[in-house]
Every structure is written in structure tokens, then in C-alpha cells.
Amino acid sequence: MSKIILASSSVYRKELLARLIPTFEIISPLVDESTQDGESAKNSAIRIANLKAQKVSLSNKKSYVIGSDQTAELNGQQIRKPSNYSEAYNQLIKLSGQTVLFHSAVCVKNEDSQQHFEAIETIEVRYRAYSGKEADAYLTYENPIGCLGCIKSEGLGISLLDSVKSSDPSAIIGMPLIALSKILRSLEIDFHGQ
């Protein structure tokens, strides 16, 4: 079996991939994740997932490299990850009662065979209306600094949401596993001995 590499430094993506594959390597891709001028959030997620896979694939030509990225948008405007408490608080207040679209993309690349697969899942997340006091309490308890949409839906953040609409529940955490598993099956990559 060919080696699998996750092109990511995300602990969440590592945990997600471990649900599917027992053994894989992790290499941080160190790419520029900036959005390009005029680029939609959805296109940005696909481009950056591809960029991550491509970067690691170039020095690991025989391996299957998995790159993934997630973006979010509110009313067509891309949302950034907050870098401090003030940004996180302001973002949570802005998102209260709003619907946010998260775009979770994955790319699988093998440089040697020139195989390239990609998929994207859009998740519609409805934040409930909450107070500034609730936002502050959440930030103090969970500290989602650096989390897209300022929410950890796998933790207490779920309490700030009204609904999550997606055909893939793993996609909101950072990587669409249903789409990825389809790609891996097409490549005949073993799933925990199946």
C-alpha cells in the first residue's frame, strides 16, 4: 500500500483522518493561506486544499497526499479566524442570529501517478441569538481563538447554534470525511483492515 500523508498542522484534521486510516504521516505544508482578490470563500477553500497537497506531494512523489482547508462566509463576505479575544468577541456578536456558510474542501494528490481528486462540502450553520454575556462566557470557557467562525462545534460551541445543515457531519470540524472516503475507496486504499 502507498504511504498516506496528511498535509496539515491541524490536530482536528489529524483526529478526523484517524477515523478512516490507521496509519499515516503528517507534514505541515507551510503555504500562504491568504484569499486572493475577488476570490470566493468556496474557491479559496478548494485552491488552498490543492496548494497544501501539491506542496507536500512535490517532495513525496509516491505517496498519496491529503490537503484540506475550510473557509466561511457571512452574506458573501469571507470570515477570518480571530487571533485574539477582542476579535473573537466581536465576531461572535456579529454572528449572533446569523446564518454562516462553511466550505470544507479536500484534495488527494499523487505526484508520481499524476492522480488528483478534490471535493468540497458546504455546511449551513445557523447561530442562535445570544447575549454578549453568553459570548464572553463561551470565550472564557472554550477559548476558540484561531477557530473559523469562532466556534468549536465538537465542544461547547454547539450550544451557540440553532442548526447545522450538511450531508457530512465531519465537514464542519474541518474535513469532509464522506467525500474523502469515496476518493480513498476509488484508489483502493484500505480502511482499518476492511
Q: What is the DSSP string of 100-135?
A: EEEEEEEEEEETTTTEEEEEEEEEEEEEPP--HHHH
Residue 69 is a catalytic residue: yes
Do β-strands 64-74 and 4-7 pair in parallel, antiparallel, or remain unpaired? parallel
Query: What does the pLDDT read at residue 33?
Result: 84
Which listed residue (32, 69, 162, 168) is catalytic? 69
Cell of 50: 490543492
Q: How confident is the model at residue 40 (pLDDT cuts 50, 70, 90)?
A: very high
Query: What does the pLDDT read at residue 170?
Result: 93
Q: Which domains does the chain have, with CATH numbers?
A: 4-186 (3.90.950.10)
